[in-house]
């Protein structure tokens, strides 16, 4: 796992993802707002172009392509497509020593971007003598069917093979191929994933237990589906992240939506908003400004790391703290909208390089995640009047269905994911049928509300950190890592060592027999 135009402010994530159509009601004027958080949005679409766009020197890999079946679940002769994957055997001790294969389950975006932001896997590979593989998720990055993204995204027929089930089958087929190609039949496979990728890692361990010995699923909201967690959970957690820094900041943001609405209704109001928020193009409707600001707040909650980072944008340590410092710190006479601009500017322009801001992050109006959220990845979202800093709205499936029919000609299947992978009564299910899964979550991450936050059994464990943000444990280690993060990663390493050790012991016992 990862905006309200049928996409998660995410995903990817991670997580990074769901199409929710909602209504924001103001006492003076009701406003229809199509909005829902995505895991990663545009940031995962292509590799970033800032200073981190090239693979860090220590991450050496080859880019390869594997011809995948378009449909794993039929026997029709459909065209194959090239699935890109990144592979490194630099530290692999080889098949004779049963070196493990570390396999990252690709998210909703360019796989190189995920590889560059998953330093934990690369850093522990030498310790385990592991091969490292990062496969790209179908329909994302360069791994598109039908010869081009334009053809692949053409209509519901060509998009119909973009599902989590097909992606997991891709991963399983690729692993089987690699094991054969490298004479590594007896080498254990460990799955990794963050956000939507974390969901895939957990689901793959459950659906294909013979393929991999275990999975580290970081920030994986596998419970963010119908009638499992309250729909207001995500936005309540985003709001809490700001409230814990400053109640005054929280209130300024809460008041700003009405201020934007009322300003937009005045003569020349849209021009004033355009100038106040330094937009490159004249604002056409206040909804676009809502979405832009909401995206910043949601992403800030996700990447509220305790050190400077460039995961999505170049941001300081504890970025929400800096946002609230600027919102609260305006001199006397500073308007609410001016305060909000100063705060949001931390997210969109902390380096000061942007001259103005473009609001449209998807000019073509279609992304892979929009399709997934309109079919099976339906994650209910709402905003409460009492505890949310966002305008109140209710989850409205009827509106979702209408929008998906209009955009893609399909009806969502909100109960399919939990039918396919489980979710309801997850503790009993995982206790009976699951093993060797780590669910890691940081409570600062708004997606943690849809995560597994309690230990299920001795081998299905939950690692929860109060100060953790979106899959922080999978990021590269830094000299500024807090002690709790260092300890969390060591715990994960010990659990993975245990999985591999148990696998070898069982193999030896079978060989002796």
The number of beta carbons lying within 10 Å of the beta carbon of residue 277 is 22
Q: Tell me phi and psi for residue 416, to 5 degrees.
A: -70, -45
CATH of the domain at 75: 3.40.50.1820
30 in any annotated domain: no
In-domain check, residue 39 = no
Three-state DSSP class for residue 25: coil
CA 194 to chain CA centroid, nearest Å: 7
Instruction: Tally Cβ neighbours within 10 Å of residue 238.
Output: 29
Domain shared by 215 and 266, yes or no: no
Write down the catalytic residue from 36, 195, 383, 435: 195
d(CA 324, CA 405): 40
Q: How far apart are CA 288 and CA 33, in angstroms?
A: 9
- Sign of the alpha-carbon dihedral angle for 116, 118, 119, 121: negative
Could you tell me which residues come within 8 angstroms of residue 386 by beta carbon, excluding any fewer than 6 positions away?
none
Angle 463-469-470 from CA coordinates, rounded to 5°: 90
pLDDT in tens, 419-446: 999 999 999 989 999 999 999 999 999 9
Do 404 and 411 touch, CB atoms closer than 8 A?
yes
The answer to whether position 21 is within a domain reads no
In a domain, 334, yes or no: yes
Distance in angstroms (rounded) separating the CA atoms of residues 21 and 6: 7
Which residues are CB-neighbours of 282 under 8 A, at least 6 positions away?
Answer: 270, 271, 274
According to DSSP, residue 395 is labeled: B
Q: Which CATH number fits the domain that encloses residue 247?
A: 1.20.120.980
Please confirm, yes or no, whether 236 is among the known catalytic residues: no
Query: Are 323 and 293 contacting, i.e. CB atoms less than 8 angstroms apart?
Result: no
Long-range pairs, 272-277, Cβ under 8 A, ≥24: 273/337, 276/337, 276/338, 276/341, 277/337, 277/341, 277/344, 277/357
Number of domains present in the structure of the chain = 2
Q: Which of 470, 471, 473, 481 is catalytic?
A: 470
> Tell me, what's the pLDDT at 51?
40
Write out residues in the chain with pLDDT < 70, as ranges: 1-57, 360-366, 510-513
**Is-catalytic flag, 361?**
no
| Residue 470 known to be catalytic | yes
Cα distance between residue 316 and residue 480, in whole Å: 12
- Do residue 230 and residue 354 come from a single domain? yes
Q: In terms of domains, do 83 and 205 share one?
A: yes
What's the whole-number average pLDDT of the chain?
A: 88
- Whether 143 and 261 share a structural domain: no
Asked if residue 450 belongs to a domain, the reply is yes
- The span from the CA of 222 to the CA of 437, in Å, is 13
SS3 153: coil
Q: Give exposure, 278-300, as e/b (b: 16+ Cβ within 10 Å).
A: ebeeebeebbbbbbbbbbbbbbb
Domain that holds residue 79: 60-224+415-510
**How many Å from the N-terminal Cα to the C-terminal Cα in the chain?**
42
pLDDT of residue 36: 55
Q: What would the two tokens of residue 164 be?
A: 């989590």
The answer to whether residue 3 is domain-embedded is no
Same domain flag for 273 and 421 = no
Rounded Cα–Cα distance for residues 233 and 235 (Å): 6
Furthest CA-CA distance within the chain: 85
Element (H, E) at 235: helix 233-243
| Cα distances (angstroms) measured from residue 202 to each of 103, 161, 206, 223, 253 | 12, 21, 7, 12, 36
Looking at the whole model, is its pTM more than 0.85?
yes
179 plus 317 within the same structural domain:
no
Dihedral sign (CA 216, 160, 13, 136): positive
Contacts of residue 222, defined as CB under 8 A and 6 or more positions apart, other chains included, come to: 199, 202, 203, 421, 423, 426, 450, 451, 452
Q: Are residues 190 and 125 in the same domain?
A: yes
- Whether 293 and 394 map to the same domain: the answer is yes
DSSP 245-308: T-HHHHHHHHHHHHHHHHHHHSTTHHHHHHHHTTBSS----HHHHHHHHHHHHHHHHHT--SS-
* Same domain for 420 and 355: no
Residues 6+ apart with CB under 8 A from 118: 104, 134, 192, 194, 474, 475
**Are 199 and 283 found together in one domain?**
no
Helical H segments across 56-163, by residue range: 111-116, 119-128, 149-152, 156-159
CA-wise closest residue to 397 among 419, 417, 420, 374: 374
CA distance 375 to 369: 10
- The reply to whether 134 falls in a domain is yes
Q: Both 151 and 169 in a single domain?
A: yes
Between CA 145 and CA 132 the distance in angstroms is 25
- The confidence score (pLDDT) of residue 23 equals 27
Catalytic one of 110, 445, 473, 481? 445
One domain for residues 213 and 301? no
Report if residue 32 sits inside a domain: no
């Amino acid at each position: 796992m990862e905006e309200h135009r049928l996409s998660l402010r995410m995903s990817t994530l991670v997580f990074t993802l769901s199409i929710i159509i909602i209504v924001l009601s103001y006492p003076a004027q009701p406003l229809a707002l199509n909005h829902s958080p995505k895991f990663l949005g545009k940031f995962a679409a292509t590799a970033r172009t800032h200073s981190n766009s090239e693979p860090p020197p220590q991450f050496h890999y080859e880019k390869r392509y594997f011809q995948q079946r378009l449909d794993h679940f039929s026997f029709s002769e459909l065209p194959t497509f090239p699935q890109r994957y990144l592979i490194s055997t630099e530290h692999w001790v080889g098949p004779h020593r049963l070196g493990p294969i570390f396999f990252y389950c690709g998210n909703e975006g360019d796989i190189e971007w995920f590889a560059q932001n998953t330093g934990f896997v690369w850093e522990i590979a030498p310790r385990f003598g592991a091969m490292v593989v990062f496969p790209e998720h179908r329909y994302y990055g360069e791994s598109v069917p039908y010869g081009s993204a334009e053809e692949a995204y053409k209509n519901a027929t060509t998009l119909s093979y973009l599902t989590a089930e097909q992606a997991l089958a891709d991963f399983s087929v690729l692993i089987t191929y690699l094991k054969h190609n490298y004479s590594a039949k007896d080498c254990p496979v460990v799955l990794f994933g963050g956000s939507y990728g974390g969901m895939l890692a957990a689901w793959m361990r459950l659906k294909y237990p013979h393929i991999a010995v275990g999975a580290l699923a970081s920030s994986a909201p596998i419970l963010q589906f119908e009638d499992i967690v309250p729909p207001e959970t995500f936005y309540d957690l985003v709001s809490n992240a700001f409230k814990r820094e400053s109640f005054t900041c929280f209130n300024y943001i809460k008041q700003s939506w009405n201020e934007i609405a009322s300003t937009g209704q005045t003569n020349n109001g849209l021009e004033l908003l355009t100038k106040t928020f330094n937009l490159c193009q004249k604002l056409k409707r206040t909804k676009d400004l809502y979405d832009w600001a909401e995206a910043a707040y949601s992403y800030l909650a996700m990447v509220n790391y305790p050190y400077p980072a460039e995961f999505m944008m170049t941001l300081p340590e504890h970025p929400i703290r800096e946002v609230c410092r600027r919102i609260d710190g305006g001199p006397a006479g500073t308007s609410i909208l001016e305060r909000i601009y100063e705060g949001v500017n931390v997210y969109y322009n902390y380096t000061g390089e942007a001259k103005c801001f473009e609001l449209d992050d998807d000019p073509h109006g279609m992304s892979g995640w929009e399709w997934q959220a309109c079919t099976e990845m339906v994650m209910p979202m709402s905003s409460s009047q009492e505890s949310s800093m966002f305008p109140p709205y209710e989850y409205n499936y009827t509106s979702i269905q209408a929008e998906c029919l209009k955009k893609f000609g399909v009806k969502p299947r909100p109960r399919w994911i939990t039918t396919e992978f489980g979710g309801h009564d997850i503790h009993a299910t995982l206790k009976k049928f699951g093993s060797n899964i780590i669910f890691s979550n940081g409570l600062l991450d708004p997606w943690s509300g849809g995560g597994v936050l309690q230990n299920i059994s001795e081998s299905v464990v939950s690692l929860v950190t109060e100060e953790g943000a979106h899959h922080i444990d999978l990021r590269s280690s830094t000299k500024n890592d807090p002690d709790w993060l260092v300890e969390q990663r060591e715990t994960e390493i010990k659990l993975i060592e245990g999985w591999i050790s148990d696998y070898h012991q069982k193999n030896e016992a079978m060989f002796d027999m």
